[in-house]
Amino acid sequence: MQKWIMSGLFFAACAFAVVLMFTLPGKAEVAEENKPTMPEVQLDAAGAEATVKANCITCHGDQLQGGVGPSLQQEGGKHDAGEIFTIVTKGRGQMPSFKDKLAPEEIANVAMWLAEKK
């Protein structure tokens, strides 16, 4: 009889451990780091242009024709808004991260604006 109780408890503990493994916040946070989720915003072209003028043209050129960074004039043909959001949020190579400089909504707006350039 006691054996049954012990193995029952053992299995319950195992099940609990498995559930914990999948629900602990650590994993979700790592996934968030790798692929930040883009907030949903309404495209505000004038706002996007202002954000880009203030933050991006030093490297990407005042007409987005490229400079230190590549041309973004046809960025939408290369990356969709979600991908641009990830690149701008996290940075890549010589491209700095804007995670601490711009709000996610601002980055999302810029990403959507750039994604329309094809």
x-marked contacts with ligand HEC along 76-115 as a string, rule CB under 6 A: --xx----x--xx---xxxxx-x-----------x---x-
Q: Is 79 annotated as a binding residue?
A: no
Q: Is 14 annotated as a binding residue?
A: no
Can residue 47 be called a binding residue for ligand HEC (CB under 6 A)?
no
Give the chain as a 3 state SS string.
CHHHHHHHHHHHHHHHHHHHHHHCHHHHHHHHHHCCCCCCCCCCHHHHHHHHHHHCHHHHCCCCCCCCCCCCCCHHHHCCHHHHHHHHHHCECCECCCCCCCCHHHHHHHHHHHHCCC
Candidate segments 4-12, 16-24, 28-36, 69-77, binder of ligand HEC by CB under 6 A: 69-77
Residues forming contacts to ligand HEC in the complex (CB under 6 A) are 52, 55-56, 58-60, 68-70, 72, 75, 78-79, 84, 87-88, 92-96, 98, 110, 114
